[in-house]
Structure 1
Amino acid sequence: MFARSLCALTLVFPAVVYADVEAPAEAEQNVQFPYVLKITATDNFHDLLEKNLDLARWQRERRVTREQLARLLDSVTESVSGLLATEGYFSPVVNAKLDESVQPAVVSLDVKAGEPSRVRDIDVNYMGAIDEDEVRVQRLFERREQTWSLPVGSIFKQSAWNDSKRRALSSLINRRYPAAKMIRSEASVDPQALTVDLSIDLDSGPAYTYGPLEVSGLSRFPEKLIRNNVEFHEGEEYRRKDLVDLQTDLQNLPHFSLVLVDVDLPENPPFIAPVKVTVQEAPLSKISTGLGYSTNTGVRGSFSYRYLNLMDRAWVFDSSLRLEQKEQALSAGITFPRFASGYEHRVYASYTREDIQSLAIDKWKTGVSRSSTSENIDRLIRLEYQIERSELNDGTVFDPQSLTAKYQWVRRNVDRLRNPRSGNVITLEGGGAIKGVLSDETFAQLYGRGVQYFPIGKKSVFVGRLELGQTFTKDVTNVPTDWLFRTGGSSSVRGYDYQSLGISLGGSTVPGRVLAVSSLEYQQPVYKDWLGAVFVDHGGVADEWKDWEGSTGVGVGARWVSPVGMIGIDVARGIEAKQFRVHFTMGVTF
């Protein structure tokens, strides 16, 4: 929301150059003069010079004349010195030579970078209202070692110098001092001592507190839809994170197609900054249709309808119909926007029919849920009533009912959601039912899943996944299948059909009480946004741990990091099943 230009002052000293170029004949001045550039450089600076020098660029253009080439050679010393100065080398020796005895001519550029200059001293001076905040100044100095990109003793680099100045200024702008600015920055070079002294002066400006919230752009939805998402109060000290979080939360609501959150910063006291929220409302109704294919459930078609202002209260009504070869589903629900408590509530009903691994299941569900999202943690509490009818291949029928309570906790701690390279995602769930309370059986379930990303080198990544679950009950026949386990297929054990790993009963594959699945995968970039992958999965389901036997799948795959997310295809062999299977996936499996 605030832009600041950071100036940099770097002193570059003359380099030594030896050039052997004859003046071109006047008749040759407008004739194209092709040449080949050969660069010899110390300290692996070849790529830097090849990418940025005009002498290299014009070689590729192949339209340069001999006169133009002579001018390029005259200025190559300055160009090389400027480039190496950004990497901390201020006294390079440059030797440029043109050889016209061969065709095309050869330009030899020899660069000896010399010794790098290192940071000797760092001086950050604060002025403005922050002078009265001794505790804050002390904390800024204590945290400088963590945020400063150029510690004492490190090789000077222009990119790190710019980053350090940006971080120093942001440390003020992000909290209490949004009008802070940099009034001076200097990098003083001593080429004889090979040192650089860094200094910056920062003016914090006044300390601001939040003023009243002003909302514009609403015509159909109540203002409390926005106010219920505001987690800061008038009179509190300004924090940029509050405004960023508010804008993100509002933009995630389906009610708005555009959200802008900003503050007015008065130049005179009292320094109270009104918060301005400007929104553009989305269309009230939305109809979506789709066609697709899943290696788990086959060809599918879908239809959905959403209305954003039920009862003129900004309640969201949604309904959907999904038809797949192995599964069909119909659902409807109402979502109540976030309350002032920070929670979102929903009521819903659904019907699902599936026939997978010779087990036909009809499910009727209705329930209420309460959810919240804070930082990188999602929480869900759900109360649900379910009636189920399942029929085995031999005609055996089970028809349990249950009133269940469930709690789910998900933490996403990754460097990026679309294509993670480091961090982890942890999912924990627990719940169950009590016999006699609209339930045919007492049961409890515990489930956990973890995915860990390990970066390898600059671009490769190693992914480990572990999934464990157990349902505690005496009579499994009176427990709905959603509270038991089957596995197999994409995102679980590849090389096996969808939910084919379970317990054989009555000619069908039925779910069991215990689950364990693990996976190891290595991803390597191969071309632009494409990655190759090799993996091994191992897992299975049983009725008791003593009977558990895992199945193994191994294979290779390709990943495309598309604008809409990760799209993957895997070819896997199920070792025990002695079969190959192809699996398609979309999105990162958390």
Structure 2
Amino acid sequence: MTAAPASVCFRGRGDSARLAIGRMAPGGHRRGRAGVGVVLALLLLGLWLPWSAWADVAGLRYEIEIAPTGHAAMDAAIERASLLASLGDDETLVPLALIARAQADRWRIDDVLRSFGYYDAVVDVQLDGRDPADPLLAETLAAGAGLADLPVKIRIDTGPLYRLAEIRVDDAVPEAVQSAVDLRVGEPAEARRVLSAGTAMLEALREDGFAVAQVPPPQATVDHRTRGMAVRYSVDTGPRVAIGGIEITGLERLREGFVRRRLGLAPGEPYSPSRLELARRDLLASEAVAAARVIPATALDADGRLPLAVEVVERKRRTLRVSGAFASDEGGSLLLGWTHRNLFGGAERLSVHGEIGAIDGTSRDSLNYAAGASLRLPDRGRRDLDLAFDLDAVSESLDAYDRDAVTAGAGLELRLSPRLAVAVGAAVERARIAQDGPAEDFRLLSLPLTLGWDGTDAPQDPRRGLRVEAQLVPVPWVQADGPGDGQAFVRADLSASAYLDLTRLGAAGETQDAAAAADDARAQGELAPAAPRSSTVIAGRLALGRIIGADARAVPADWRLYAGGAGSVRGYPYQSIGPRRASNAPAGGDSLLEGSLELRRRLRGPWGMVAFADAGSVTADGLSDLGAVRVGVGLGVRFHTVIGPLRADVAVPLDPYPGDAPVQLYLGIGEAF
């Protein structure tokens, strides 16, 4: 080809920016003007065409075929851009509507090809073997409407791949910022990468403190003789600025001092969009805040700083929660909770709850009861340091033991990062416990130390990431009033869950875009859009437990280790796995090993299916008896909601104990782990 260099125009802003390249024809008219002419011609044509060209009496259907280019990603983009393909070939159309789609497809597909670096492509669209520009086509199509599906074929000659010949930035910018332009001479001249490089440069400038920097859409020139593109970025960096005054609006009951402390921003510190976003997320971490926006001003103040406006939307202060669950081994349970999220104006949270369990249970002699209250005071002395108080009472009759207890505790929790937290506390417990003999009264002091990491993408329905919790609980003082003697001990627990989204690994096009959009929304603290119509997640869980310093029989029964039940090894009754007493009831042990594996498949709409296998072992002599591992397998159904999935699992024990039911059913809210 010997045409002269083409004028190239990039238009658009930000992430939605779009490349429009107008190749100059010999007469000087751009492709865009020709497209307008075609549309006007079609409208004028419709004024004298017979009504049959517009009306759809017999129904005009079509069957589309797009010849592959050999470039998988580009073929997928072409199919998404094509109106003929994306709007469906199973509907009836009037002839002119079909012709308009075909004409639009030529321009839309050409834009896709240019975005991949093909600037001399030919897109041939044929309707029943005829060109859509044929003035007699509409009447011909109307005459044959309803006889058969109309063949629509799209053939593409991509032509040669164009490459970047020159990349120029017309201003002095820091080297780190210029490196954000991830383009190299000789690479394919892909319009999407040329545009994204300009956006990346602007983001890097603002991250480096140039808050009012401007990077207009780049100018480019395509030379058809050399198959090359020259790209020029015009940059106006402006001054490097600091944060100015911070104005907070939207507060009702929250104190302004609390909001400023949660933001952690101070006038005079360097401006950085990522720093502002981190401050916004820190504010959203408070349960008293429903939404927050940090908006930089459009101009600098008199001191050359950039003022900020913070808009806050508070959550409703009081909530009432009702939930329930059912397991065939434990019966039903009903929980009622009340929470005040902002008790004194500093996001103090007071929660009160009550629970009734063993409703219609097959292995209980009476109902179980639990009640409690907790008060959490955030940011005590420093940001992310919370002080918590808890008071709980329980009365339960289980296969393993009967227990009436009251516990009270206080603790400090420090969030080291959005994902990592550490907590330390102290708790006292007074309990009366009966297990194969007269009841014993226990009084003990525990000093729990907890370390938690949550790298998952969603707390109720994780699709990817890792979650780990380690807890070490020394119990230095135990007093027993009964036949036994109190003995100090230490209990250690470690649990880890991992999630792998197989859909993302093989995702392409819309599925991958939807997954990314969901992740972005969750990262912003917003309600995530619906997951892709179908997805597959592999989830795994591992749990270890150990009691050190005392024989299992010397440890109060409620502190021993047990396995079995809805949150443990499904298929086996609650706490049933492990050593047995003379009565064949669970005795509990000093070592625990558990593992679970689930294959979660999201179906159409809110429905999903799960296949799972759980395994667990409890021993009274360390982890030496791995032959005692019990395995349960099963299937589950999920109905996904905004508060998490509703869960129904059916599990079968592969090696049941004598008297165990052959099947167990579990109903609840949220995934098993």
Aligned-partner residue type, residue 176 of structure 2? R
Q: List runs of 5+ in structure 1 lacking aligned partners.
A: 16-22, 132-136
For 1:111-139, what per-residue CA distance to the aligned partner results, in whole angstroms no more than 9, with x for missing partners?
134357365367373748xx4xxxxx233
Equivalent positions of 1:326-345 (< 5 A) are 327-342=368-383, 343-345=385-387
Mapped contact 1:488–1:496 kept (Cα < 8 A): yes
Please point out which of 425, 432, 455 is paired with 2:474: 432
- Name the counterpart of 1:293: 325
Mapped contact 1:179–1:206 kept (Cα < 8 A): yes
Equivalent positions of 1:270-285 (< 5 A) are 270-282=303-315
Give the Cα separation in 2 of the matches to 1:122 and 1:273. Answer: 36
For 1:1-59, what per-residue CA distance to the aligned partner results, in whole angstroms no more than 9, with x for missing partners?
xx9576443426599xxxxxxx9994443443613233131136776555543445485
TM-score (norm 1): 0.83
- Name the counterpart of 1:562: 641
Aligned-partner residue type, residue 535 of structure 1? F
Give the Cα separation in 1 of the matches to 2:466 and 2:321. Answer: 34
Give the Cα separation in 1 of the matches to 2:388 and 2:459. Answer: 26
- Name the counterpart of 1:500: 576
For 1:436-459, what per-residue CA distance to the aligned partner results, in whole angstroms no more than 9, with x for missing partners?
799932111222112222343334
Mapped contact 2:118–2:162 kept (Cα < 8 A): no
1:474 partnered with 2:498:
no
**Residue 581 to residue 200, structure 1, CA distance change in 2 (3 Å):** farther
- Name the counterpart of 2:567: 491
1:575 partnered with 2:599:
no
Please point out which of 169, 186, 195 is paired with 1:125: 169
Give the Cα separation in 2 of the matches to 1:239 and 1:111. Answer: 48
Aligned-partner residue type, residue 491 of structure 2? Q
- Name the counterpart of 2:176: 139
Mapped contact 1:400–1:478 kept (Cα < 8 A): no
**Residue 470 to residue 5, structure 1, CA distance change in 2 (3 Å):** closer
Please point out which of 474, 494, 498 is paired with 1:452: 498
Aligned-partner residue type, residue 239 of structure 1? S
1:302 partnered with 2:332:
no
- Name the counterpart of 1:92: 122
Mapped contact 1:489–1:496 kept (Cα < 8 A): yes
Equivalent positions of 1:58-77 (< 5 A) are 60-65=90-95, 67-70=96-99, 72-73=101-102, 76-77=105-106
Mapped contact 2:378–2:387 kept (Cα < 8 A): yes
**Residue 188 to residue 41, structure 1, CA distance change in 2 (3 Å):** farther
Q: CA deviation at 1:383?
A: 0.9
1:389 partnered with 2:389:
no
**Residue 581 to residue 234, structure 1, CA distance change in 2 (3 Å):** same
**Residue 317 to residue 162, structure 1, CA distance change in 2 (3 Å):** same
Give the Cα separation in 1 of the matches to 2:101 and 2:213. Answer: 43
Q: List runs of 5+ in structure 2 lacking aligned partners.
A: 1-12, 26-30, 32-44, 130-140, 359-366, 508-534
Aligned-partner residue type, residue 547 of structure 2? T
Aligned-partner residue type, residue 654 of structure 2? I
For 1:375-428, what per-residue CA distance to the aligned partner results, in whole angstroms no more than 9, with x for missing partners?
211221121111222222x34434332211111111122345454443311211
Mapped contact 2:113–2:158 kept (Cα < 8 A): no
Q: CA deviation at 1:95?
A: 4.6
- Name the counterpart of 2:420: 377
- Name the counterpart of 1:412: 454
Q: CA deviation at 1:141?
A: 4.3
Q: CA deviation at 1:250?
A: 3.0
TM-score (norm 2): 0.74
- Name the counterpart of 1:19: none
**Residue 40 to residue 391, structure 1, CA distance change in 2 (3 Å):** same
**Residue 70 to residue 250, structure 1, CA distance change in 2 (3 Å):** closer
- Name the counterpart of 2:354: 321
- Name the counterpart of 1:512: 589
Q: Percent identity?
A: 20
Please point out which of 95, 103, 107 is paired with 1:78: 107
More divergent stretch after superposition (363-372 vs 154-163):
154-163
More divergent stretch after superposition (538-547 vs 43-52):
43-52
Give the Cα separation in 2 of the matches to 1:384 and 1:122. Answer: 69
For 1:315-345, what per-residue CA distance to the aligned partner results, in whole angstroms no more than 9, with x for missing partners?
4333222222264211123221212422010
Mapped contact 1:210–1:275 kept (Cα < 8 A): yes
Q: CA deviation at 1:368?
A: 0.5
Please point out which of 152, 158, 167 is paired with 2:200: 167
Aligned-partner residue type, residue 271 of structure 1? G
Mapped contact 2:19–2:115 kept (Cα < 8 A): no
Mapped contact 2:325–2:668 kept (Cα < 8 A): no
Aligned-partner residue type, residue 563 of structure 1? V
Give the Cα separation in 1 of the matches to 2:379 and 2:666. Answer: 38
Please point out which of 203, 207, 232 is paired with 2:240: 207
- Name the counterpart of 1:350: 392
Mapped contact 2:451–2:471 kept (Cα < 8 A): yes
Give the Cα separation in 1 of the matches to 2:150 and 2:346. Answer: 76
For 1:274-306, what per-residue CA distance to the aligned partner results, in whole angstroms no more than 9, with x for missing partners?
44444455555x352525223275333333334
Mapped contact 2:595–2:616 kept (Cα < 8 A): yes
- Name the counterpart of 1:179: 212
Mapped contact 1:116–1:155 kept (Cα < 8 A): no
Please point out which of 41, 53, 62 is paired with 1:29: 53
Give the Cα separation in 1 of the matches to 2:672 and 2:192. Answer: 35
- Name the counterpart of 2:136: none
**Residue 50 to residue 551, structure 1, CA distance change in 2 (3 Å):** same
Give the Cα separation in 1 of the matches to 2:247 and 2:542. Answer: 48
- Name the counterpart of 1:18: none
SS at match of 1:207: coil
Give the Cα separation in 1 of the matches to 2:423 and 2:109. Answer: 59
Please point out which of 232, 240, 250 is paired with 2:273: 240
CA RMSD in angstroms, aligned pairs only: 3.7
1:546 partnered with 2:629:
no
**Residue 488 to residue 162, structure 1, CA distance change in 2 (3 Å):** farther
Aligned-partner residue type, residue 511 of structure 1? G
Mapped contact 1:117–1:196 kept (Cα < 8 A): no
- Name the counterpart of 2:404: 362
- Name the counterpart of 1:229: 262
Give the Cα separation in 2 of the matches to 1:42 and 1:235. Answer: 57
Give the Cα separation in 1 of the matches to 2:498 and 2:449. Answer: 23
SS at match of 1:503: coil
Give the Cα separation in 2 of the matches to 1:494 and 1:331. Answer: 28
Q: May I ask how many residue pairs the two structures share in their alignment?
A: 567
Give the Cα separation in 1 of the matches to 2:606 and 2:227. Answer: 41
Give the Cα separation in 2 of the matches to 1:355 and 1:426. Answer: 31
Mapped contact 1:424–1:452 kept (Cα < 8 A): yes
Mapped contact 1:125–1:201 kept (Cα < 8 A): yes
Give the Cα separation in 2 of the matches to 1:433 and 1:126. Answer: 69
Give the Cα separation in 2 of the matches to 1:312 and 1:74. Answer: 62
